[in-house]
Structure 1
Amino acid sequence: MKKTKLFTLLVCLISILSVSLIGCGTGGTNTGNTSDTTDNSERTSIKIGVPVPLTGGLANFGTGSPFIEELAAKAINDQGGIYIKELDKKLPVELIFMDTESSQTKASEAATKLVTENKVDMLVVRHTPDTVNPVSAVAERYGVPCLSMDAASDAWLASGKHVWSYHAFWKVDSIYKTFESIWEKAGLKGAKVGVVFPNDPDGTTFSPIFAKGFKKDGFGMVDPGFVTSGTNDYTSIIKDFKDKGVEIVTGVNITPDFATFWSQCQQLNFKPKMVTMGKALLFKSDTMALGVDNANGVTTEIWWTPDHPYVSSLTGQTGREITDLWTAATGTEWTQPMGYKYASIEVAIDILKRAASLDKETIRQAMDATDMTSLVGPIKFDDDNHCATPVVGGQWQKNANGELELKIVTNDGYPEIALTGTLQTSN
């Protein structure tokens, strides 16, 4: 079994490296915000550039690439590709992946290379503002259509007016409402909340929105100030939380930082009634690494699961059917970002089919007119080039096999997303 998994992972790595090198060249730079005047008569594919964090601190978000995206591309390529009117023929979709190494700088460099050297027709990017924002900036600079997902929308919207970039994901106020619904269901309305917000794009975006929500809803807030990622001593923060009667802990930290904080909470016998963390608790492998008993009952947001009610607009497959293909190929379980990996290519294909052109302005106009339902839900952009996607409340619960399962325990605002568990609370 180990040899099979190793072989599969090696195949995936080779695939990533191969598609990353496709189309590399020394072409000039598009000066931006103009229609593409390139002679496309010899074109053999429609090129979509996909910067993705395959290594570094965000590598878990990259899990599933390029396998999941290629499933979506295969659905249209098996039909001969997408019809391009000016060429009067169909062209297959070619995905070109580049590793951002979980770095804002590297993400910008990867996107620039995809635009200026690979000459992509469109960019597709996901996985936190650290990846999405710099890539969107490159798209605006060069006048290239860009579809982004899986990054808190507030940080993207705050980066300026977007003409060529379109974004689909939830806003932070939706996360606050989701967390608040968990706490209210747990009987903790008005409790004291200790916040551990990092000094990064997510933390600085979440903090003021949560503070406003706490004040409106009568929660007390204990705020030690922004925490630097990589901090290895949370003793003073934890003692302050204990002294001030904190019953809820929340934040939006990367997993290693939360793991350090939570370990020290155990050492200092600090046991809040509810822990609700964004980002850190998204992945089963990370949550299990905290210790099943230590992590049993922690809560988080859920963006997507294979059991969400939406299906592929390309094939009619459910999320479960799509992720089962991943599990069969790799022996590993699904992750939440996989739904957005598939949906991003699915939506890009819908846009390109309606555009029926390689002209970038025509593609941009087709993006603006998007109105469809994807694997992650309805996609229709507003005047800010933004679309809000669903988010519900989840809890990691220990099952009969001694493993943790992520259960949907609140679904306020999205009754079509069925609950899969009952919220468990500590005494």
Structure 2
Amino acid sequence: MDKVGNRAISRGALIGIIVVIIVVIIVGGVAYYYSTKKPTSTTSTVSAPPYILIGTLYASSGSYASSSMPEYEGLQLWAKWVNESGGIYVKEYGKKIPVKIVAYDDQSNPTTAQSLYQQLVTVNHVNVLVADFGSVLTAPAVTYANASHILLWDVTGSSYAFFINNPYIILTSLPVSPYFITYVAPFLHSLNITKVAVIYAANDFNAYQDYFLGTYFKQYGITAVVNESFPTSTTDFSSYIATIESAKPQAVLELGYPTDDIPFLNQVASSGYHFPMVLTNFPGQLLPDFLSAVGANMNGTFTLAYPPLVSYTPNYGPNLTEFYKLWNSTYPTIPPNFLSIAGFNAGLIIGLAIQDAGTLNQTAIKAAVLNDISGKITTIDGLFNVTQYGMQVGENPLPAQVWVYPNGTANVVLLWPPNLATGKAVYPAP
């Protein structure tokens, strides 16, 4: 009995020793694996770039300088603002990355702009491509982005043609042409206006404004008794003004760039003719510039108003008061205008899209805009809302009337839609 028991104890001890050895080997192996494995939950295995490169153009001279420079300054202000908090958080890298703007001067020349857009991508290897001001200087970037399959952030180029079956563009800060003039026809109708004269600059931005305005006129029984284009470079409007006078319209709409609006308003005032209503695009965007260049000659005229003349309650980014504080701390001698806000707003949308996508991949960033941002974000520029092709259908300007005081200041009264109006139109204008 004892012999058998001793043999049983020896066998049990042997088994126990083997089990202990196996456990030690397994535990040791697991410990070694985890001691050498790179963590993935908190630290990225991909090296982060030192900067997110934002490539853009600006025009320091030429026809578009007065519009391009404040837009560029607004984008620069955003870069400064976002970098004060460390930059944009990119999940792929597990950290915030500061932004850096790489910019070239196109001097208002579309041909120069075309080569510089390409340089930003092929030489500077920017992560984000941002267009210069307006449709004329954005058009070369649209062509290049389409051919190269690069996502273009279009700040204020609102030509409808840019967005036809084009997946490589997002309009950030200005509605596309048909939405730019959404409120014009119902506003005119509210004043019982049925006869209008329309002259427009022969470029994509203004030509599409005119085209879609005509479709809206039909809905409200409004007839364009004059409908003529003029070269965008026009400075003498005397013959157009005489043609309009002979047609006796109830309202006159001149659709152009600032370089068109300024001489037109001044020449209407000096012509001796009086029209019941004159409406132009840019006093509502560049009021300080127009007060300097046109002054009392635009007293009582109408325009389409944007921030800062219109105040929105944002759910993302600074409000108007906070924006003014940021702006004045950086540009104390330059009054902000809408295009200052447009450039800043472009940065807001770009930064939010990268953060939401968690990567610098262009396709993922576009998907973030469409799926998580569009229709859900209100900034100081209004509701950001784009179609699948990046066409901005939010941020609509409001018909307004400009009153200029003898001391050189102005008051802009918002007129339409009624729920956003701050006063009533004085029509016919004095």
TM-score band by shorter chain is: 0.7 to 0.9
Q: For 2:219, what is the secondary structure of its paired residue?
A: helix
- Which of the numbers 183, 191, 216 marks the counterpart of 1:178? 183
Q: TM-score, normalised by structure 1?
A: 0.79
Q: Which amino acid aligns with 1:79?
A: S
Q: For 2:415, what is the secondary structure of its paired residue?
A: strand
Distance in 1 (CA, whole Å) between partners of 2:248 and 2:241 is: 11
Distance in 2 (CA, whole Å) between partners of 1:68 and 1:255 is: 19
Contact 2:286 2:339 in 1 (8 A): no
Q: Following TM superposition, by how much is the alpha carbon of 1:380 offset from its aligned partner in structure 2, in angstroms?
A: 4.1
Distance 1:377 1:420, change over 3 A: same
Q: Which runs of structure 2 are paired with 1:219-258 in the superposition (5 Å)?
A: 219-223=222-226, 225-258=228-261
Q: Following TM superposition, by how much is the alpha carbon of 1:331 offset from its aligned partner in structure 2, in angstroms?
A: 2.3
Contact 1:70 1:95 in 2 (8 A): yes
Q: For 1:123, what is the secondary structure of its paired residue?
A: strand
Partner of 1:401: 407
Q: For 1:225, what is the secondary structure of its paired residue?
A: strand
Partner of 1:96: 102
Distance 1:240 1:120, change over 3 A: same
Contact 1:408 1:421 in 2 (8 A): yes
- Alignment of 1:378 onto 2:383: yes
Q: Which runs of 5+ in 1 are unaligned?
A: 1-38
Q: Which runs of 5+ in 2 are unaligned?
A: 1-44
More helix by share: 2
- Which of the numbers 198, 212, 218 marks the counterpart of 2:215? 212
- Which of the numbers 34, 51, 59 marks the counterpart of 2:65? 59
Q: Following TM superposition, by how much is the alpha carbon of 1:275 offset from its aligned partner in structure 2, in angstroms?
A: 0.4
Q: Following TM superposition, by how much is the alpha carbon of 1:86 offset from its aligned partner in structure 2, in angstroms?
A: 4.4
Deviates more, 1:383-392 or 1:396-405: 396-405
Contact 2:281 2:303 in 1 (8 A): yes
- Alignment of 1:309 onto 2:315: no
Partner of 1:349: 351
Contact 1:319 1:339 in 2 (8 A): no
Deviates more, 1:381-390 or 1:192-201: 381-390
Poorly superposed stretches of 4+, deviation over 6 Å: none
- Alignment of 1:117 onto 2:123: yes
Contact 1:52 1:131 in 2 (8 A): no
Partner of 1:13: none
Taking only aligned residues, the RMSD between alpha carbons, in angstroms, comes to 2.8
- Alignment of 1:194 onto 2:197: yes
Distance in 2 (CA, whole Å) between partners of 1:362 and 1:249 is: 45
Partner of 2:393: 388
Distance in 1 (CA, whole Å) between partners of 2:256 and 2:120 is: 30
- Alignment of 1:366 onto 2:371: no
Deviates more, 1:255-264 or 1:239-248: 255-264
Distance 1:419 1:126, change over 3 A: farther
Bigger Rg over Cα: 2
Distance in 2 (CA, whole Å) between partners of 1:130 and 1:197 is: 15
Contact 1:179 1:300 in 2 (8 A): no
Q: Which runs of structure 2 are paired with 1:123-202 in the superposition (5 Å)?
A: 123-125=129-131, 127-157=133-163, 160-168=164-172, 169-185=174-190, 187-190=191-194, 192-202=195-205
- Which of the numbers 402, 410, 418 marks the counterpart of 2:416? 410
Distance in 2 (CA, whole Å) between partners of 1:199 and 1:338 is: 26
- Which of the numbers 338, 341, 364 marks the counterpart of 2:340? 338
Distance in 1 (CA, whole Å) between partners of 2:417 and 2:132 is: 24
Deviates more, 1:106-115 or 1:145-154: 145-154
Distance in 1 (CA, whole Å) between partners of 2:217 and 2:306 is: 23
Distance 1:399 1:293, change over 3 A: closer
